[in-house]
Every structure is written in C-alpha cells, then in structure tokens.
Amino acid sequence: MILQSARVAVQRTRILPAWVRRADAAAARAVTTGPSHPVADRVWSRVSGVADRGVLWWTIAGVLAVTGRRRAAERGLGSLLVASALTNLIAKRVFGGDRPLLADVPIGRRLPKPPATPSFPSGHSASAAAFAMGVAVESPRLGIALAPAALGVAYSRLHTGAHWLSDVVGGLALGTGVTALGTLLVRPGTSHDRIDSAPTGDDRRLPASPEGEGVFIVVNRSSGTSVVRADPVRVLERRLPLAELHLLDDGDDPRTAMRAALAREEPPSIIGVCGGDGSVAAVAHEARAAGLPLLVVPGGTFNHFARTAGAASVDLAVDALQRGEGVRTDVAELRFAGGSPITVLNTASVGIYPDFVAERERLERRWGKWPAAVIAAVRVLRSSAPVTVVVDGRRARVWTLFVGVGRNEAGIAAPMQRRRLDDGTLDVRVLHAGTRVRAVGSLAFGRRTSSVLRRLRLLPERLESFTTDSIDVLVRPREGQAPGFAHDGEVAIAAPAEASARGAVPGYRTTVRVLPAALDVYRPAGDDGDGSGGRGTRVTAGGGRSPRP
C-alpha cells in the first residue's frame, strides 16, 4: 500500500522535482501510519469540512465586521476571493495532479465526500492563508489569533488524505503571495474609511459659493470605476445647482477642458475636479497657474490627497465650498530636463512602481482595473530589474526611489499618502537593489509588518530615507529604454524618453522641488454642514452643464 502511494506521488505530476515527490511520499507515510484517535480523526474531518467554500472565513469576517473591525474583514475576504479564483480557475488547471489514493487513507479519516478536482495547489490552504494574512495586515493581533485556525485547516487536508504536502505548501504560498500583492496595491488603513487623524494645515478663509455660482468642475467619470459608491455627479447637481459640470469623455484630458474654461471672456472664479489623484493633480496645476482656489471632489479609487486634506467625501468637499473653508497646501514641481513643469500632490517615483502602473494601464481596457492590476503586479514583480540612478551626485542601483510631498509614514519603502499638507519638505525613500523577493516584501507590507520581518532578517535593511526641499535625479537607461517616471498614480513615458534623447549623457535628468503654501484647497474647518441644496441643472453641448434660467 505504501509503495503504491509513493508510486502515485511520482506519477501524479511530473513537473515537480524528484525531491518534492519524495517528500510528498514520506509525509503521506508519516501522517497515514502515525498515531491517532477516532475522536481526533472526526475533529480534523470537521475542520476540513467547515472550511469548504470558505464558510469558516466568511463567518469570522461577519463577526469582525459587526464588532467594528470592518477593514480587517474586507481585506481578509478580498485576499480570499482573489486566492480562491487564482487557485481554482488557473493554478489547478495549469498544474493539476492526482490526489492521494483513498485506499491508503484509514476509513475513519476519509472525508464524507472526497474531492474530485485536481490536486495542486490546495484551495483550502490558499484561502486560509489569504484570509488570515489579510486580517493580519490590518490587525497583527487578530492575524496571530487566526494563524492556528489557518494552519489547522491546512493540516486537515493532509490528515484526511485530501492533499499531498506540496499541495498544502503551494496553497499557503499562493495565499500569502496574493495578500502581499494586495497590500502593495492598497496600503493598510487607506481603503474606504475616513482618515483617523485630524486634517493638517492652518484653516484659511476662501471664497464661498453656497449654490455653486462661478464654479467650474471637471468630472472624470472613468476614475474610481472599481469602487462601489454613490454617483458624485448627482450629489453635485443637487447641492451645487449653479455650478457648471464638465463631464469628460473617455480619453479626454482634464487640463484641456480646464484651460478652455479659463480662456473664456468670463472665466470661473473657482475651479474644481472630481476624479482620482491623477486628475486632481492635473487640475491643481491649472489652479496654481490661474491663482484660483481648488475644489477637490473625491471620485477615484484611493483619493489620497483628498483624504489628507480632510475632504474625504463629496459632501465634505461641498460643505467646505458652501462655507468658504479651506487650507493652503504645499505641492511639488517635477520637471524633466528641457520639459514643462508638472505639479505633484502626493508622490513621484521611478523603478518598480512606474513599471506596474504602465503595465496595468496597458491591460485595463481588456481585463478591467482590478484584474489588470493583479496580472500587472505578477508580471512586473517577476521580470522587473533594478534601475541605476544618480541622486544628487551619488550613484546607486535601486528597486524604487519614491519622493513624497510632505512627510509620509515612517519605515516603509513605498509611501503613497502624505501625512501633512504644510511641512515644506520632500520625503525621499530609496530601496537599494537586493534580491527580488526581499524587494517585493519591502514594497508589499506596511510599517508594522515590515518591522517584524526586518527583525527576522526576511527584509532588507538597505532602505534609505531622508528629507529635503529639492532633489536632482539622473535616471540611466534600462535595457536600452528610459524607465518611466510616475507621479500621483500616472506614469510619464514620453517625457523621459524625449529628455533622454536630448541629453548629452545616457538617460534623463529630472528635478523635484517642494513649493510651500502654493495652492488653496477647500476643506471643512469645523463641524459638517447639513448639505442642503436646491434647483436642478441641465446638460449643455460638449459635456458641460449650465444653470437653469
């Protein structure tokens, strides 16, 4: 019987190395012939059964949600769903393999309904690891509490003879990897909740517009399509009936629409933007040039700048406009050699992150935003190479170089959301080149998880950070091509290539400098208003909206 089990282990999937097949056979012998008790056998069978179709994890998520831990529940379930889909729709079809023979499993240990799907990897193990790790990213204590349950589910698949050891290990690795990639895409604590700390910056009186008179708002309807939320246009129409809303068509540039409005004989006195960070930064540049206050209406997936400013919802932004409340904020100016300046509100970077953004945008039209992001992350993290940069005269090979506007959260390699609006500094993070696995870990995990892994020497220590008011970066070509440079979720490809072609040395030069108190932005200064609004609006030619007479 034991020889037969070992023979199946050899035959089940020839793509596995011989030592893995031998380990599978040895583990199967140890578990099958090891001491056990009928009560223990029934317990492990039930543990395996209660995790079928994720019932155990959905139940725990419900408990977390009703006890005020919604963010941890959301990330755990999100990781579980992605891991389950990758396991059952892709991995099992690609790798497959036969399961252990039931004849080798004692009758008391067998599952009531033996699984019939391919063996590698274990879906139960992948889901267990993904959920527990997802919860741990948001709440390490809860993650530690769930770890025994996740490992117990994984072991139950061995005890009941449903899987080989390599299936279980592969499932655990897949679930952990999915969570790591998800953490890279959505930073811990930045999902849909309002920021915990009070908005920064000194309150400032700005022109009030109770019904939207003199306000021109560019609306990017393609932003934030992956997030379920109320339509911001309806809220704006109801609460700002005199405002003019210009709805962008797919592919339209918000800068062009805003410049056309500002070129009128009677230009708007207040300009606004509803969209993601890229759209907000583009319109912020025009607001700076025109010397006008900016209304930021969060309409993207993450809305990092709006959250930091304290206008984390449409109603909060409108409240501030109607009451004339705001703040004067720092911005940064990014300039490629010989090119025009670009306004940056959150971060600029070169390395893995721009590679990911460019690949995601290339895949979005076909796959949609979130599937494209997952595929892009896998491709980039598998094949991306370090970038050679010269930072203020110092040469280095780096995985990423992030330049944040204002101080960001300490101890992480990829800061995405500034913590202050008015500290007059750039926060620079340089992740020096090491192994790809460690680089991915540094980019994927938040500060608390990273600090633990760094103490265990599982993450690199070569994370350099410093603050400055200006930085000069020379980016060398990579495989003959100038690497892209990302800013506020957008990636510049053409500008670096043109700067590289003009330069006297290989590569391109860019400078980033902070501009203190450069932009007025609406945000609530005190308690929220009631947000009452009145008359309707009508659509005008070219996507604009004008008030009814």
Distance CA 293, CA 70 (A): 36
- State pLDDT tens for residues 136-181: 988 888 888 888 888 888 888 877 777 788 888 888 999 999 888 8
Position 191 confidence tier, pLDDT thresholds 50, 70, 90: very low
> How much is the pLDDT for 31?
74
Residue 156 contacts residue 45 (beta carbons within 8 Å) = yes
Residue 188: how many CB atoms within 10 A of its CB? 20
Residue 314 contacts residue 467 (beta carbons within 8 Å) = no
Residue 218 CA: distances (Å) to CA of 29, 211, 266, 545: 67, 17, 17, 10
Residue 542: how many CB atoms within 10 A of its CB? 10
DSSP state of 52: G
Report which residue type is found at 38. Answer: P
> How much is the pLDDT for 378?
66
pTM over 0.85: no
Q: What is the mean pLDDT of residues 118-147?
A: 87
Residue 123 contacts residue 92 (beta carbons within 8 Å) = yes
Higher pLDDT, 50 or 183: 183
The residue behind tokens 């606004």 is 272
DSSP letter for each residue of 407-435: ---TT-S---S-S-SSS--EEEEEEE---
Instruction: Return the closest-CA partner of residue 310 out of 234, 222, 419.
Output: 419
- State pLDDT tens for residues 90-110: 887 777 777 776 666 666 677
- State pLDDT tens for residues 521-548: 999 985 543 333 333 333 333 344 433 3
Distance CA 123, CA 114 (A): 14
Report which residue type is found at 243. Answer: A
- State pLDDT tens for residues 47-83: 777 777 777 887 787 667 655 577 888 888 888 888 8
Query: Going by C-beta distance under 8 Å and a sequence separation of 6 or more, which residues neighbour residue 35?
Result: none
Higher pLDDT, 498 or 323: 323
Residue 505 contacts residue 474 (beta carbons within 8 Å) = yes
- State pLDDT tens for residues 356-403: 788 877 887 777 765 676 677 667 766 778 999 999 889 999 988 999
Residue 104 contacts residue 32 (beta carbons within 8 Å) = yes
